[in-house]
Amino acid sequence: MSETSKLPDITALMARRLRCPVCMRRFRTQDISVIESAPRRGVFCLRCPMCASQRLVIGVWNKNAMRTYVTDLDQEEWTYYRHAPPIHSDDVLRMVRMLRTYDGDFSDVLEDPILGESE
């Protein structure tokens, strides 16, 4: 049996195991669409028809088990980052040099306040 033919079994397993984190409704196989698949892994979009939320889930499986990892990306972001060039060591060094000379606090670039600070 090919890995591709196992995808319906994987979506059925995810439908049995996963619930919508917003409304706690159990997913059905028709709520799960395959975005990308490869041997022993796949990326799935889970859409809840009850509350209209959606989640991108990475599934990794072998003969004995399957693990799922929920992302905070949507399908468009997944496609963008999936096809983006990898980070090169020069990019990391450039960031280190920039941070050494950065004269400010990070509250202007962070969404959440730093723990322990009062507003």
Does residue 72 surpass a pLDDT of 70? yes
More confident residue, 6 or 45: 45
Band the pLDDT of 115: cuts 50, 70, 90.
low
pLDDT for the residue 10 = 84
Range of the domain at 78: 4-82
Quick check: is 30 in a domain?
Answer: yes
For residue 119, is pLDDT > 70? no
Of 44, 41, 57, 46, the closest CA to residue 20 belongs to 46
Q: Which structure tokens are listed for 96? A: 């280190």
Mean pLDDT computed over every residue of the chain: 85
Per the domain annotation, does 89 fall within a domain?
no
Q: Is residue 56 part of a domain?
A: yes
DSSP β-bridge partners for residue 70:
57
CA distance 37 to 15: 17
Residue-wise pLDDT tens digits, 22-46: 999 999 999 999 999 988 899 999 9
pLDDT(60) > 50? yes
pTM of the entire predicted model: 0.68
Q: 11 in a domain, yes or no?
A: yes
How many domains is the chain built from? 1
What is the distance between the terminal CA atoms of the chain, rounded to a whole angstrom?
Answer: 59
Whether 20 is covered by a domain: the verdict is: yes
Q: Is residue 58 within 8 Å of 69, Cβ to Cβ?
A: yes
pLDDT, tens only, 77-92: 999 999 999 999 999 9
